[in-house]
Amino acid sequence: MFGGNDFMNAFRLRWNQALGRETFASPPAPVTLREQLTHFGLKKQSARSVATRGPAAAPATPSGTICASAAENDRIANWRCVAFMLAASTAVEKHAKSRHNCPTDAPVRPYFIQTSSPDSCDPAVDLRAGISSPEARIPAWYLYDEIGSRLFDVITVLPDYYPTRTEAAIFARHLPEMAKVTDLENGSLIDLGAGSCDKAPGLFPFVKPRQYVPVDISVEHLRATVTRLQREHQDVEMIGVGTDFSNNLVIPGQVRTERRLFFYPGSSIGNFTPSEANSFLQQVRSQMRKDGALWIGIDLVKDHTTLERAYDDVLGVTAAFNLNMLLNVNRIAGTNFEPAHWQHRALFNADDSRIEMLLEAKAKTVVRWPDGERSFSAGERIHTENSYKYTPDSFRALLEQAGLRTIGMWTDERQWFAFFAAVLA
Chain contacts with ligand AVI (rule: CB under 6 A)? 155, 163, 266-268, 270-271, 311, 318, 385, 387
CA 33 to chain centre: 33
For ligand AVI, which is the closer residue by CB, 250 or 355? 355
Q: Is 333 exposed, middle or buried (0-12, 13-18, 19+ CB in 10 A)?
A: buried
Q: Is 357 exposed, middle or buried (0-12, 13-18, 19+ CB in 10 A)?
A: buried
For ligand AVI, which is the closer residue by CB, 55 or 270? 270
Hey, which bits of 188-341 come out as E strands?
188-192, 211-216, 237-242, 260-264, 293-299
For ligand AVI, which is the closer residue by CB, 68 or 325? 325
For ligand AVI, which is the closer residue by CB, 159 or 205? 159
For ligand AVI, which is the closer residue by CB, 6 or 308? 308
CB atoms within 10 A of CB 228: 12
Supply the DSSP symbol for 373. Answer: E
The DSSP string of 103-142 is -TTSPP--EEEE-S-S--S-HHHHHHHHHHSSS-B--GGG
Min CB(306)–ligand AVI separation in Å: 13
Min CB(297)–ligand AVI separation in Å: 9
Min CB(229)–ligand AVI separation in Å: 22
For ligand AVI, which is the closer residue by CB, 86 or 310? 310
For ligand AVI, which is the closer residue by CB, 76 or 314? 314
Supply the DSSP symbol for 190. Answer: E
> What angle do the packed helices 4-19 and 75-101 form, to 10 degrees?
170
Min CB(316)–ligand AVI separation in Å: 13
For ligand AVI, which is the closer residue by CB, 311 or 337? 311
Q: How many residues does the chain have?
A: 425
For ligand AVI, which is the closer residue by CB, 149 or 257? 149
For ligand AVI, which is the closer residue by CB, 109 or 302? 302
Supply the DSSP symbol for 258. Answer: T
R_g of the chain computed on alpha carbons: 23
Closest CA to 406 of 417, 422, 392: 422
Min CB(209)–ligand AVI separation in Å: 24
| Gap between the Cα atoms of 136 and 366, Å rounded | 13
User: Which stretches within 261-362 are classed as H helix?
Assistant: 274-286, 304-310, 317-333
Task: List CB contacts of 75: < 8 A, sequence separation 6 or more.
Answer: 17, 18, 19, 20
| Gap between the Cα atoms of 340 and 79, Å rounded | 50
For ligand AVI, which is the closer residue by CB, 195 or 252? 195
Min CB(31)–ligand AVI separation in Å: 48
Residue nearest to ligand AVI (CB): 387
Cα distances (Å, whole numbers) of residue 141 to 22, 138, 179, 214:
32, 9, 32, 19
Grouping H, G, I as helix, E, B as strand and the rest as coil, residue 368 is strand
CB atoms within 10 A of CB 371: 7
Min CB(163)–ligand AVI separation in Å: 6
Grouping H, G, I as helix, E, B as strand and the rest as coil, residue 70 is coil
Min CB(155)–ligand AVI separation in Å: 5
Min CB(92)–ligand AVI separation in Å: 33
Min CB(250)–ligand AVI separation in Å: 22
Min CB(162)–ligand AVI separation in Å: 10
